[in-house]
Structure 1
Amino acid sequence: MQTPDDDAWLLERSRVLGDRIRAERQRRRISQERLHLSAGISRDVLQRIESGRHNPTLFTLLRIARVLDVPLADLVR
């Protein structure tokens, strides 16, 4: 069992989230350029989210989900 001080699971969940966003973006044939511009976030932030190296805000995730036309729950499940 993981203790509250063990944040390794958070990093893994962040990578999974990024993988889901990238997969959905590619499935819909949306470029990173189009997604970051449409979502109103920087390309660098999008790249870091997709690689699991960024902790996005709820608002950022909602913007991404809206552009991808998927429920937020599908990305963070």
Structure 2
Amino acid sequence: MPTLPDDDDWLREERRAIGDRIRVTRMRQDRTQESVFLAAGLARSTYQDIEAGTADARVSSLLKISRVLGVHVTDLLHG
């Protein structure tokens, strides 16, 4: 069975990429962070951390964000 690298650089990069896709999608819709986190029922800090790529997002949070933005969650994960 292959082993994963010890460093978490790849994980940080993936979190940032997901956050970037969320931000780009939100901005294309001319929406504020506040409108998204309120509609998704998330705390401001939770949403900001997800969009900044500094926190591990729960699947339920990503599903809520994708629903509010009107995209499939895989669009946020894979672009």
TM class by shorter-chain length?
Answer: over 0.9
Amino acid of the residue matched to residue 32 of structure 2?
S
Q: Which residue pairs with 1:69 in the alignment?
A: 70
Structure 1 residue ranges (4+ consecutive) displaced by more than 6 angstroms after TM superposition: none
Q: Which residue pairs with 1:21 in the alignment?
A: 22
Q: How many residues align?
A: 76
Amino acid of the residue matched to residue 20 of structure 2?
D
Question: Which consecutive unaligned segments of at least 5 residues does structure 2 have?
Answer: none
- TM-score normalised to the size of structure 1? 0.92
TM-fit CA distance, 1:50: 1.0
Query: How many Å separate the matches in 2 of 1:66 and 1:50?
Result: 15
Query: How many Å separate the matches in 1 of 2:4 and 2:68?
Result: 36
TM-fit CA distance, 1:4: 3.2
Q: Which residue pairs with 2:36 in the alignment?
A: 35
